A and B are shown apart, each in its own frame.
Chain A
Amino acid sequence: MKKGILYINQFFGQIGGEEMADYEPEIREGLVGPATFLQQQLKDIEITHTIICGDNFMGSRKEEAVQRIMGFLQDKEIDIFFAGPAFRAGRYGVACGTICHEVNQKLNIPAITSMNEENPGVEMFRYTDIYIFKGGKSAAQMKEDIKAMARFANKLVHGEPLLPAAEEGYFGRGKRHEIYPEDGPMAADRVVDMLLKKLRGEPFQTELPMPKTERIPIAPPIKDLSRATIALVTSGGIVPHENPDRIQSASATRWGKYDIAGMDSLSPEIFKTIHAGYDPNAANEDPNRVVPLDALRAYEKEGKIGKVYDYFYTTVGTGTTQGEAARMGREIARELLEAGVDGVILTST
């Protein structure tokens, strides 16, 4: 028998409504509120405890709330974590996402919640490793939402094969998995079917949907290039020969930064590409074709720019999900900003 714990807010914990939203985190043995119905739907999973926390407590004293709840879990046997369902309740949804993410990251166990698509918790947490099921607008859909969470939890603990997010009923996390359908047409047939439908102007369903584009405000220009520090960043996989950070040749989740202070160009004696998505010969022969340090140095010497930043940043941009790319971009951007870099040239292959 596996052990599970459910997190709910003060309202579903039957403590009270808005006036009790500051209710401090508490753990109770056994089933409270929605836990009873959840338990009925689960097979071979016992809900041992229910955690209750006021939405405002979690909202305004998040670190303390998370710390106390993680403290509750310290001595508990736990295989799977649940939170909600949160429907369209914004603070509750964010609370469920927050605690699921924390538990998932720290305890390395699956965490399942449910929210309506309008809940801000969805966008905040869907691209993490937690599962957010597509829930109803209000508690009127409590039973359906709990059933969906429980059905998936049962599959997880029984090690049953999992289907794509849309078929399981949770918000896609931007993760790609290879699956081998036991029956049905092979990939080559499916893609030609899609192409024929497209040519005929008929609707078709892609198997690799592109996430919606988010527009970024245009960053202000550099006022005085001659005093600016410029950094080089690449998705072209240029690394020192030994690839010290073991950046993957495809579907990268790691990036590296390498010292180029005092180098006039990127020497092929030191650098090469590990990118598996293009023919590496030209890049290996002259890595400046991908990361143009030689040209940027020339502009530094002429005084067109103030300085080339002392490190270049690199990863591999093939098969890399948008979620991973965004995370790596954020991590690199933070360092560049802290280093006082004024502008960035990012080269792609």
Chain B
Amino acid sequence: MVKEIEKTGLPVVHMCNLVPISLTVGTNRIVPTISIPYPLGDPAAPQEEQWKLRYHRVGVALDALAADVKEQTVFKVKI
């Protein structure tokens, strides 16, 4: 799906946990998430921490859409 969207020329960022699979499939902009069942917020963590993490990673994803990348890129996240 990511590739079909990108084929139209729309920049797309894949937020996923299985980064190696996304790379193998050929995704160009990737932002890692923390798990499969809860990509952007660990239910065991306090609400505030979950929010911080989600806000941060979505921000990284937005910056990825605006980044002029030349090759497949996995963007770094701080939290």
Q: Tell whether A328 pairs with B54 under 8 Å between CB atoms, given A230-B62, A236-B39.
A: no
Q: Is B43 an interface residue (CB 8 A)?
A: yes
Within 8 A of A (CB), among B3-60: 3-18, 22, 24-26, 28-29, 33, 36-41, 43, 50-51, 54-55, 57-59
User: Cβ of A221 and Cβ of B11 under 8 Å apart?
Assistant: yes
CA distance A282 to B37 in the complex (A): 7
In the complex, A228 Cα to B10 Cα: how many Å? 12
Instruction: Pick the residue among B3, B25, B28, B37 that contacts A280 (CB under 8 A).
Output: B37
Given known pairs A282-B43, A289-B41, the reply for A299 and B58 (CB within 8 Å) is yes
Measured between alpha carbons, how far is A348 from B19 in the docked complex, in Å?
Answer: 10
Q: Residue A222 at the B interface, CB < 8 A? A: yes
Interface membership of A108, Cβ < 8 A? no
Distance of B27 from chain A, by nearest CB (Å): 9
Q: Is A295 in contact with B55, judged by CB distance below 8 angstroms?
A: yes
User: In the assembled complex, how far is the CB of residue A237 from the closest CB belonging to chain B, in whole angstroms?
Assistant: 11
**Chain A contacts to B: CB under 8 angstroms:** 213-223, 225, 228, 230, 233, 235-236, 278-283, 285-286, 288-290, 292, 294-296, 298-299, 304-305, 315, 317, 325-326, 328-330, 332-334, 336-337, 341-349
Name B33's closest neighbour in chain A (CB-CB): A347
Q: Which residue of A lies closest to B69 (CB)?
A: A218
User: Taking the complex as formed, is B70 at the interface, i.e. its CB lies under 8 A from any CB of chain A?
Assistant: yes
Please give the number of chain B residues whose Cβ is less than 8 angstroms from any Cβ of chain A in the complex.
48
Given A221-B69, A222-B66, A305-B62, are A279 and B37 also a contact pair (CB < 8 Å)?
yes
Docked pose: A172 CA to B39 CA in angstroms: 34
A329 near B40 with CB under 8 A, answer no
Give me the 6 closest cross-chain CB pairs, A-B, nearest first: A329-B4, A329-B1, A282-B38, A295-B58, A289-B41, A348-B16
Q: Does B61 contact A (CB under 8 A)?
A: yes
A-B pairs with beta carbons under 8 Å apart, 11 shown: A219-B28, A235-B1, A289-B40, A290-B39, A336-B5, A337-B8, A341-B10, A342-B11, A344-B11, A346-B14, A346-B15
